[in-house]
Amino acid sequence: MSHYDLTDFEWGVIQPLLPNKPRGVPRVDDRRVLNGIFPVLRTGAPWRALPEGYGPYTTCHNRVVRWRRSGVFDRIMSAMTEAYDADWLRRSIEEAGAVPNLPSMRHRHRKACFSKTLYQERNRIERCFNKIKHFPRIATRYEKARLKRPSHAQARRNQNPDQKL
């Protein structure tokens, strides 16, 4: 297991936030792809430097581009920042049949029931998402900038449309 690989607990948190639209050819394992994406995004290394154990680098790169366009990373980041003391969140948790375990803010007149042990488990989730926040390629939108530039072959084709490449 690499330093950046997701633990079982972290994977259990992220997996429900990923798209699940089975169509065509079966997708490569999302967990393996994410484990391949994280070190590249964290270090800024080129995709070609991705170790073979994570599968083809093109798969990881394409998944980052597709998930960025469809807002998957935004959903993951949003899920992590919204998990604080809020009435709507408490109601939503209760409607789902669970008991919210969030410490009450100081300004609350009526304090909610709270378990420090369960809250520490929740903190593990937050630390998982904190790992994701430290990937500079997501923050700088590097992949989006690269999509706008034509490839070398496209540029040559545009200059000499009659020439065969």
What pTM does this model have?
A: 0.52
Q: What's the pLDDT score for residue 85?
A: 63
| Stretches in the chain below the pLDDT threshold 70 | 1, 79-85, 136-165
- Distance in angstroms (rounded) separating the CA atoms of residues 100 and 113: 8
At residue 32, the 3 state secondary structure works out as: helix
Could you read off the pLDDT of 83-114 as tens digits, one per residue?
556 777 788 888 988 888 777 777 777 777 78
- Distance in angstroms (rounded) separating the CA atoms of residues 121 and 123: 5
Report the half-sphere exposure of 153 (CA within 13 A, side-chain side): 2
Q: What's the pLDDT score for residue 115?
A: 81
